[in-house]
Chain A
Amino acid sequence: GAGVSQTPSNKVTEKGKYVELRCDPISGHTALYWYRQSLGQGPEFLIYFQGTGAADDSGLPNDRFFAVRPEGSVSTLKIQRTERGDSAVYLCASSLEVGQIFNYGYTFGSGTRLTVV
């Protein structure tokens, strides 16, 4: 597609439920990133993929969070046993190659606003 697509755009879930957030990167982009933006904060790094593998998951807050990218394109961020503190905008970004963020920056999607009630 022309840009990074994230679905759903909004998700409301009850505390304790499981959610999946989807990211469809720009075609041909090998690097994919997930960030989380809480209210009043800047985006915080969660995980990045180079191809199918999670090359750096150091930003995932705990083991309730997991992300996959099985075919090296679409990625799914999975959150188990959601808590109210998980409420945030989850942003996905992609770049043509790893290490291009300085020259071109990432291309971000519009995000998924997750609300846990």
Chain B
Amino acid sequence: DQQVKQNSPSLSVQEGRISILNCDYTNSMFDYFLWYKKYPAEGPTFLISISSIKDKNEDGRFTVFLNKSAKHLSLHIVPSQPGDSAVYFCAASRGAGANNLFFGTGTRLTVIP
């Protein structure tokens, strides 16, 4: 049973525009959320995280929004750049000291120059 879901397998965005990647989760025990970016033939790299005590976390061009009541989070990239083209994974954990992450199936972002 997939506890973290990314329902859009792909997204195309024009360079300079906003990219919005969505993620839903079913387990109400999740309280820490992370986004990873993955290029082909490389391992996922950590991008940004958010705790459930917050509803927004920002780092440069990347902002993650969390809506706990809807069990939904999103990653905004503004402005999008061609180098952002990658597969983005949403992940969740139960507690900051958790040992394992539950990943979504990923969304492939293509930023068109």
Chain A interface (Cβ within 8 Å of chain B)? 4, 31, 33, 40-45, 48, 55-56, 59, 91, 93, 98-99, 101-111
Q: Can you list 20 A-B contacts (CB < 8 A)?
A: A33-B99, A33-B100, A42-B89, A55-B99, A56-B99, A56-B100, A59-B100, A91-B43, A91-B44, A99-B98, A101-B34, A101-B93, A102-B49, A102-B51, A102-B93, A102-B96, A102-B98, A105-B46, A108-B43, A110-B43
Shortest A97–chain B CB gap in Å is 10
Question: For B91, what are the chain A residues with a Cβ–Cβ distance below 8 Å?
Answer: 42
Q: Which of B46, B49, B99, B103 is close to A42, meaning CB atoms less than 8 Å apart?
A: B103
Shortest B46–chain A CB gap in Å is 2
Question: For B44, what are the chain A residues with a Cβ–Cβ distance below 8 Å?
Answer: 43, 91, 108
Q: What CA separation (Å) do A108 and B43 show in the bound complex?
A: 5
B113 within 8 A of A: no
Question: For A109, what are the chain B residues with a Cβ–Cβ distance below 8 Å?
Answer: 43
User: Which residue of the partner chain B has the closest CB to A50?
Assistant: B99
Question: For B89, what are the chain A residues with a Cβ–Cβ distance below 8 Å?
Answer: 42-43
Question: For A103, what are the chain B residues with a Cβ–Cβ distance below 8 Å?
Answer: 49, 96
Q: Mark B33-52, 1 if CB is under 8 A from A, else 0.
A: 01010000111111101010
Instruction: Say yes or no: A40-B96 contact (C-beta < 8 A), given A101-B34, A110-B42, A111-B43.
Output: no
